[in-house]
Amino acid sequence: MGGLENLVANTAYLNAQGGDDKELRRRRRSLLLPRPEQCAAIRSSIPLDFEQVCERQPIGKKLFRQFLLASKPEYTAAAEFLDELNEWDLEESGSKDKARQNIMNKFCRAESNSFLSYLSGDVTDKCKAVSEKDFDEVMMGKVKDATKKFLKGKPFTEFHSSLFFDRFVQWKAYEKQPISEKYFYEFRTLGKGGFGEVCAVQVKNTGHMYACKKLDKKHLKKKGGGAMSMLEKRILEKVNSRFLVNLAYAFDTTTHLCLVMSLMTGGDLKYHIYNMGERGIEPNRVIYYTAQITVGLLHLHAMDIVYRDMKPENVLLDSQGQCRLSDLGLAVELPSGKTICQKAGTSGYMAPEILKEEPYRMSVDWWALGCSIYEMVAGRLPFKDYKEKVQKEEVARRTLEDECKFEHKGFDAASKDIISLFLKKKPEERLGCNGDDLRKHEFFKSISFPRLEAGLIKPPWVPKPNVVYAKDMGDIRDFSEVKGVEFDSNDEKFFKEFSTGAVSIPWQQEMIDSGLFDELNDPNRKESSWGLKEN
């Protein structure tokens, strides 16, 4: 691939990220939601589940909120109360007092228009008598619970037979549309994986950019990679976290299975450790990335999933400088109580219990995180030096027998301590496995985890917008074709099972973030004779 071609590909890719509003508007003008009469089957397939419809799905949540605000005053008060309580919870300590006072004046005083009049019994008394001291306990506890319980009852039932729910059904029908390669524009290759390349794509209707991991069907069949890929897909679509690469679409073409995921343009942490000047990463960035990785791992573990491939290379940065874990190809689900002994992972990051092929669960991820923090600070692994030519067996021996040394000047007391705790050879003594809350460790003293989880802490380093943090295309493109593979009906069935289209939560978020949600709901939209009527 020539330098000029590379430049053209990069320019197209960078321009697309900039967005072209005029072109987008033109394309969107003809879009319509499916008509209500086309949605009967979808309607009956939606479970009457408050949490699923009104809390987890972004469009459901938004429409339920709009319904509450357009209904009775006490419904409005409940919706505003939950919003403001949530904002208060995430407020920086300096502004917390004022927000708390506002909530108390607005919702806890019987004479206020927004008094929470749906409360009853002792919860009402507690709410009226709340003070600054017991605010957290009372409002975040009993009052919040009672509010949710209230909303789940009559308001939810009324929502279900309102025009707002009709609109939700239309969006669900739209979400279920078949997805093909025509849904996207394709841009440059970003990287290469075991079964094909990963490239940047853009959704034509929203302008949203994603990464598309393309798995060559013939290659998959020949190497028997189908089951593994399906497992990766199933895990990806299940997790929904700010700190994990999320799956937005799964579809297939005649030649490939495609996974469309969060686009990470800032490069991986291995690149940042070794290819950006002096080896290693600055301390404040190491703490920030480690905190995000920690939350990502906790999200996986909470779903009984072990990642098993924790290493800087698999941590990718987005355009803002926030990181996410990627490549869930080795992840496995282990229902509570179940263990596994299978040797899996990358040399240098594998925990003693894996090397000894003993039964393990989540402990191996915390070991690998210890290795990764060490590497971010020192530019080498605890048991393998930079560019050291050494056999896997020797790395394994050192992992099992040697103590980790901290010779690099970049280590301070807190980083040494947390690494040592993650590198405890016995899993039951290891931080993350021994019952201690690792988020409370001294190493994280500058991080407020609730604010981090809400995406409110500014990244310490932001990638330059005009730089492509990926190797040149010539280095990563792979043209080799697999010959002599034919597909049978079982293969076709498998491809179909894989190609499930849009994944609800990220898809709905994309509709909202891109403004398409508001555009198609606009009652004044010319093409829509069925615009949402006032309630």
Task: Please give the size of the binding site for Mg ion, defined by CB under 5 A.
Answer: 2
* Residue 213 interface partner, choices ligand ADP, Mg ion, none, CB cut-off 5-8 Å depending on type: ligand ADP
Looking at the Cβ atoms of 203 and 235, the one nearer to Mg ion is 235
Out of 226, 329, 348, 370, name the contact with Mg ion by CB under 5 A.
329
122 contact partners, CB below 8 Å, separation of at least 6? none
Known binding site for ATP: residues?
213
Least distance CB 256 / ligand ADP (angstroms): 13
Which window, 293-301, 326-334, 412-420, 515-523, contacts Mg ion (CB under 5 A)? 326-334
Least distance CB 119 / Mg ion (angstroms): 51
Looking at the Cβ atoms of 200 and 520, the one nearer to ligand ADP is 200
- Residue 268 within binding range of Mg ion, rule CB under 5 A: no
Question: What is the Cα–Cα distance from 32 to 530, expressed in whole angstroms?
Answer: 10
* Residue 68 interface partner, choices Mg ion, ligand ADP, none, CB cut-off 5-8 Å depending on type: none
Looking at the Cβ atoms of 318 and 365, the one nearer to ligand ADP is 318
Question: What is the Cα–Cα distance from 135 to 46, expressed in whole angstroms?
Answer: 37
For 428, the token pair is: 């039951």
Question: What is the Cα–Cα distance from 513 to 262, expressed in whole angstroms?
Answer: 14
Residue with token string 């990785």: 293
Kind and range of the H or E run holding 100: helix 93-107
Kind and range of the H or E run holding 208: none
Which window, 209-217, 220-228, 288-296, 320-328, contacts Mg ion (CB under 5 A)? 320-328
* Residue 264 interface partner, choices ligand ADP, Mg ion, none, CB cut-off 5-8 Å depending on type: ligand ADP
Looking at the Cβ atoms of 114 and 265, the one nearer to ligand ADP is 265
Computed over its alpha carbons, how large is the radius of gyration of the chain?
26
Looking at the Cβ atoms of 327 and 365, the one nearer to Mg ion is 327
Least distance CB 80 / ligand ADP (angstroms): 37
Looking at the Cβ atoms of 191 and 460, the one nearer to ligand ADP is 191
Task: Give 176-203 as a DSSP string.
Answer: TS---GGGEEEEEEEEEETTEEEEEEEE
Helical pair 363-378 and 413-422, crossing angle rounded to 10 deg: 150
Least distance CB 380 / ligand ADP (angstroms): 21
Q: Determine contact, residues 251/501, Cβ cutoff 8 Å.
A: yes
Least distance CB 192 / ligand ADP (angstroms): 6
Least distance CB 318 / ligand ADP (angstroms): 8
Looking at the Cβ atoms of 329 and 427, the one nearer to Mg ion is 329
Known binding site: residues?
213
Least distance CB 198 / ligand ADP (angstroms): 3
* Residue 317 interface partner, choices ligand ADP, Mg ion, none, CB cut-off 5-8 Å depending on type: none
Task: Give 357-408 as a DSSP string.
Answer: T--BSTHHHHHHHHHHHHHHHHSSBTTB-TT----HHHHHHHHHHPPP---S
* Residue 211 interface partner, choices Mg ion, ligand ADP, none, CB cut-off 5-8 Å depending on type: ligand ADP
Query: Which residues contribute to the site for ligand ADP (CB under 6 A)?
Result: 190-195, 198, 211, 213, 245, 261-264, 316, 326-327, 329
Looking at the Cβ atoms of 327 and 510, the one nearer to Mg ion is 327
Active site annotation includes 475: no
* Residue 365 interface partner, choices ligand ADP, Mg ion, none, CB cut-off 5-8 Å depending on type: none
Q: Determine contact, residues 184/201, Cβ cutoff 8 Å.
A: yes
* 372, 378, 383, 386 alpha-carbon torsion, rounded to 10°: 110
Out of 237, 318, 327, 365, name the contact with Mg ion by CB under 5 A.
327
Q: What are phi and psi of 212, to 5 degrees?
A: -120, 115
Least distance CB 329 / Mg ion (angstroms): 3
Spell out the long-range contacts of 108-112 with Cβ–Cβ below 8 A and sequence spacing 24 or more. none
* Residue 191 interface partner, choices Mg ion, ligand ADP, none, CB cut-off 5-8 Å depending on type: ligand ADP
Handedness of CA 309, 244, 217, 209 (dihedral sign): negative
* Residue 364 interface partner, choices Mg ion, ligand ADP, none, CB cut-off 5-8 Å depending on type: none
Which window, 32-40, 277-285, 325-333, 352-360, contacts Mg ion (CB under 5 A)? 325-333
Q: Distances in Å between the alpha carbon of 256 and those of 341, 426, 490?
A: 33, 43, 16
Q: Label each residue of 491-519 as H, E or C.
A: HHHHHHHHCCEECHHHHHHHHHHCCHHHH
Q: Determine contact, residues 269/323, Cβ cutoff 8 Å.
A: yes
Q: Looking at 216, 252, 309, 365, which residue is catalytic?
A: 309
Of 120, 105, 106, the closest CA to residue 153 belongs to: 120
Residues that bind Mg ion (CB under 5 A): 327, 329
Active site positions, annotated:
309
